[in-house]
Amino acid sequence: MTRLSVNINKIATLRNARGGNLPDVEKAAVDIQGFGAEGITVHPRPDERHIRYADVRLLRPLVTTEFNIEGNPIPSFVDLVLEVVPEQVTLVPDAHDAITSNAGWNTLKHKDFLTDICRRFREKGIRTSIFIDPDPDMAEGAAACGADRVELYTADYAAEYVLDPDVAVARYLETAKAARSCGLGVNAGHDLNLDNLGFFIRTIPWTAEVSIGHALISDALYLGLEQTIRAYLGEIRKK
């Protein structure tokens, strides 16, 4: 069964826009789990424009499902993850000034670096996922680096889905098969929403986890947070 991990960065963005503690990021994480989500994802960036390093520390004891911390493994990020010890860390090669993640790792070019990072997290018992583009070679490269999973960067899938779902998902299916053949788990995230999520899961039913933030929080403005989470879980579990 695919797990839903809710990325709460956008809740922190709203809080930071005004100052103070409204909305309350910690309460949101607790409520989201109570509404049925099976994980909480955060992506702290160096400029702390949304989730802050301090938030990560405060959230750790409150996340009773699965805590997934994603980000570029710069030294301060690595230290934070090793301190907090989440269930999963997702390595994302985003620049410090990136608006949002926009590409996966070249796991062949950066093999030595990623191998060392994976080793450090594995020694702490932290499952490591590497964010990759839909390319079987990158999945095989992630396995060679010692990763436990890959997260497929699904922006292209979302963009192409409206034109032809079968074409949109083809490279992802090929990459997911390559990952599975290497013994890797498969996660997915970026621009997944209520329209395209179900088709992706039905095509790649061994997807272990989807991480969804922007679309889900946007939908919650209209549907409410609890109803939105139920809707996403419904898409995941639809046969």
Nearest to 169 by CA among 180, 158, 178, 177: 158
190 labelled catalytic: yes
Tell me if residue 153 falls in helix, strand or coil.
strand
70 labelled catalytic: yes
**Catalytic residue of the set 151, 190, 209, 235:** 190
Which domains does the chain show, CATH number per domain? 3-237 (3.20.20.70)
Grade residue 94 by pLDDT with cuts at 50, 70 and 90. confident
What's the rounded mean pLDDT across residues 78-83? 98
44-70 pLDDT per residue, tens: 998 999 999 999 999 999 999 999 999
**Catalytic residue of the set 70, 140, 151, 235:** 70
Q: Name residues whose C-beta falls within 8 Å of residue 232's C-beta, 6 or more positions apart in sequence.
A: 4, 194, 197, 212, 216
Q: What is the reported pTM?
A: 0.95
118-172 pLDDT per residue, tens: 999 999 999 999 999 999 999 999 999 999 999 999 999 999 999 999 999 999 9
